[in-house]
Structure 1
Amino acid sequence: MSMQAVPTPRLDRPVVGSYTTYAGAQRAVDFLSDEKFPVERTAIIGSDLKMVETVLGRLTRGRAALAGAGSGAWFGLLVGLILALFATGQRATFPLLVGAIIFGAVFGAVLGFIAQAMTGGRRDFASRSQIVAARYDVVADPEVADDAKNHLIKLAWRED
């Protein structure tokens, strides 16, 4: 089995459409696909990138322990299901699952508490990070760029 190399994106291709949201650029490429356009000859390029960190709330040791317990419980369920495959007798399956979930939750809570305590109060908030662009350009290979522009003009007419 051979692995195909991912081609290096060409950044010098003509812009065939420009959008303020990724969803808009994605909709344009999807429309091109619906029109049987060779979308493998296109790309979406985000410009003026920014990292946005959205603060979700305070993160106390108690909340860190609660989040750890939740993650640990899911991990315990996974381990319990794997162990249940090899357990002998159906009576052993349910207690095994419950025990694995409880053990996972306790272990996760302890780890979450310790991890938050070790920050020394330097990061007492939970957040989510994402990269966003000010503009998303749809570009196409020069040989098919005019055709792509003409298709995207049809899309603009439909959306007006």
Structure 2
Amino acid sequence: MSASVSMPLGGVQVGSYEDYEQAQRAVDFLSDEKFPVENVTIIGTDLRMVERVTGRLSWGRAIAAGAASGAWFGLFVGLLLGIFAADGGGWIGSVLTGLLIGLVFGAVFGAVGYSTSRGQRDFTSTSKVVASRYDVMCAPQHAEQARAELAKLSLRG
């Protein structure tokens, strides 16, 4: 079933909030009040991608990051191989070997990855998609009840 102009995806608006945590709190409150929350949708509007630069990327950081991720993977493989070791000494050897091989390969792949970028992206960052507003929508047959419950929440402060 597709949404129409008069009936937007998610139903009718019963609340609007500046951030996702407030919208989530409203739906959680409805759930606590035994409201049928399967009729509720949170819709973010006016989406934008925010990228926060966390630092400069250098050869040392690229190699260290590659080595660290490789070490974790090597540790995991070493632990898996260690399960099949006949004695305790073999188990420790498998774990250490996996860790060291993973560290070396990770460092090499980190260096190769950094060299292929040729200085085009010499920084590290994190990114997320955020909305300027979050609307709590509800199926029309439950909208008035939802509005009444959310009015109680706004009176609480």
Contact 2:10–2:138 (CA under 8 A) maintained in structure 1: no
Query: How many Å separate the matches in 1 of 2:36 and 2:10?
Result: 18
Runs of 4+ in 1 over 6 A off after TM superposition: none
* Aligned twin of 1:49: 47
**Equivalent residue letter for 2:68:** G
Query: How many Å separate the matches in 2 of 1:12 and 1:137?
Result: 10
Alpha-carbon RMSD: 1.4
* Aligned twin of 1:60: 58
Pair 8,25 (structure 1): closer, same or farther in 2 beyond 3 Å: farther
| Identity fraction in percent | 52
TM-score, length-scaled by structure 2: 0.93
Decide which of 59, 78, 81 is 1:80's aligned counterpart: 78
| Runs of 5+ unmatched residues, structure 1 | 1-6
Post-superposition offset of 1:86: 1.0
- Secondary structure of 2:125's aligned partner: strand
TM-score, length-scaled by structure 1: 0.91
Query: How many Å separate the matches in 2 of 1:12 and 1:45?
Result: 8
Query: How many Å separate the matches in 1 of 2:36 and 2:59?
Result: 53
* Aligned twin of 1:123: 121
Cα deviations across residues 81-120 of structure 1 (Å, max 9, x unaligned)? 1101111111111121111111111111110111011101
Count residues in correspondence: 153
| Runs of 5+ unmatched residues, structure 2 | none
**Equivalent residue letter for 1:111:** F
Decide which of 32, 47, 57 is 2:30's aligned counterpart: 32
Matched, 1:16 2:14: yes
Post-superposition offset of 1:131: 0.2
- Secondary structure of 1:11's aligned partner: coil
Query: How many Å separate the matches in 1 of 2:156 and 2:2?
Result: 34
Decide which of 89, 102, 105 is 2:103's aligned counterpart: 105
Post-superposition offset of 1:18: 0.5
Post-superposition offset of 1:51: 0.5
Query: How many Å separate the matches in 2 of 1:38 and 1:73?
Result: 48
